[in-house]
Structure 1
């Protein structure tokens, strides 16, 4: 990991401030990567963002959009952004966690409001997000343009999961993020990192017997075809971060910086509507193909209590700044609720 970070920072210094060749002609070509396939929420977001910015800039900014797998997956997309080979990425903070561990706090179960609408409202107001976390990313030359929920994550499994005890020994697919793995260790599961594009086959071959994601993603990836139960856990909000290479952003003319910043702000309502529609349609599909399990308030509380020690782990095992940032976020949440 140290080797990756060192290499990333070295390449960042060499390339991150460089402009695409088109910039010499007064135009800029942005390469945007995201972690989903065509016509998913991140893909539609990227296309609409590109359309608006190209129009507002009178064609001075143009875009090339790359879906998951075309330039890599997960951490690959972050590395490309760091080196300056891409200029923008729409990825989960979990995929940036090896570089900015503070972002892992959003992987903690039952932390943010379980309502997507409330989570949007909170994240839009949070000073921890807008100042503290954005500052941590900026130190690594990553500009956090926005952070919004793709939806509430639920569990899809071949096992009917009603309480923490049902996770015991269960091989459960996770991202390769330390805190996400810790969450499932707290339930005594067997967390198993699997690349996003390999999850279907892993479920089909019983390498793993469960997966988490918002409803839209569960349908987009067709994982419901090889799993039986949909457990409505709402245990985390799956967040999408809109990132740019900060050195590249600062090298742009001020008027183009303004267009990019203002367009991202305008896109928040669009992003909310996109995920709402996608998750509602996905719920209809899942209802036809899986058995839905609605947890009672008491069952939700049992999971929440089982997950609480992971917050202590986060505060103790990571840096003092990580602990302080989480405590500040918890205070904001208490005031918000």
Structure 2
């Protein structure tokens, strides 16, 4: 073997040795928003490196608590999980469940998530304390309620057992809205609605359609109270052990996937609603007026106070920065 051939062979073997397979789990189906984001990220990583990404949609590795444990243990390299499921682990992340804080406008939301100091500077430090590298947060769409009976005011939610994620502030949210909040893992929600153990739940419209929540409820109510947010994280030890080149490549892939998912969501709410009404024409859809929303908006003050009570000075500081970041985008 010539010297140059030997060098080429050695370089090839080194490249092969450095190529790794990384595991990435998320909370939705491959065709849902998190799956579309993950697929774009995978495409970018594999196009710009020798690494391979294995994707694990919801249910393949257990519930959300399972995939978080696997990520913290280093079994998974990446995980996409809503702050709704990390609220007990990272109390400050519950700020996303203060009602009527986030705008519903997709363009404003995208700009907020791109530029927010709270999201891009303060949150990474908080997540790092739990062994997690926060890579990206992004919105998934307006959250709407599905119930058995119409909801026009908090009184209509009285004694309604309403499924919420296992998140302390979301419990307070629906308590303030007049319901009986019932924390349940996602896997038990459809059956719970079917059997009457619970009578309501909330999710973005695409998920109501995808998970067929309309089959086991009769009314969709959009009160404009929230926009579902999710976070992509890496195991911090894994991420810190990467070369600067690989870290930059991951960040670039996250940025491309973010732009892709913001664009992908344009019109998704309306398209999903059309599919629901086509599948079930008897489904009632109510979009609350400003007057009807007023008592729900008033209840948000109580939830905000609970958030500060749960998180102390760090939560207060984060909330103030959150509001300043939002004002910069919406004004």
Shared fold per TM-score greater than 0.5: yes
SS in 1 for 2:103: coil
Q: Does 1:312 align with 2:302?
A: no
Number of residue pairs matched by the alignment: 314
Match of 1:37 in 2: 29
What displacement does 1:63 show?
A: 1.2
State the distance in 2 between where 1:336 and 1:66 align.
Answer: 34
- Correspondence 1:184 to 2:174: yes
Q: Which residue of 2 aligns with 1:64?
A: 54
Does the residue aligned with 1:31 lie in a helix, a strand or coil?
strand
Q: TM-score, normalised by structure 2?
A: 0.91
Could you tell me which residue of structure 1 aligns to residue 11 of structure 2? none
Larger deviation, residues 315-324 vs 77-86:
315-324
Contact 1:41–1:278, Cα closer than 8 Å, also in 2: no
For residues 334 and 52 of structure 1, do their structure 2 counterparts lie closer, same or farther at Cα, with a shift above 3 Å needed? Answer: closer
Between 308-317 and 80-89, the greater mean CA deviation after superposition? 308-317
Structure 2: unaligned runs, 5 residues or longer: 1-13
Deviations 1:183-234 (A, max 9, x none): 0111221111121122111111111111100000001100101111111222
TM-score normalized by the length of structure 1:
0.89
**CA shift for structure 1 position 24:** 8.9
Matching of residue 205 in structure 1 with residue 195 in structure 2: yes
Q: Which has the larger radius of gyration?
A: 2
Cα distance, 1:117–1:336 mapped onto 2, change above 3 Å: closer
Q: More displaced, 162-171 or 110-119?
A: 110-119
Helix, strand or coil: the match of 1:276?
Answer: coil
Residue 16 of structure 1 corresponds to none
* Alignment pair present for 1:140 and 2:100: no
Further displaced range: 115-124 or 190-199: 115-124
Distance of 1:306 and 1:242 partners within structure 2: 30
1:260 CA displacement? 0.6
Change beyond 3 A, Cα 1:156–1:176: same
| Alignment partners' CA distance in 2, 1:217 and 1:317 | 29
Structure 2 counterparts to residues 34-183 of structure 1, below 5 A: 34-57=26-49, 60-183=50-173
Q: C-alpha separation between the residues in 1 aligned to 2:222 and 2:251?
A: 35
CA RMSD of aligned residues (A): 1.7
**Is contact 1:153–1:238 with CA below 8 Å preserved after alignment?**
yes
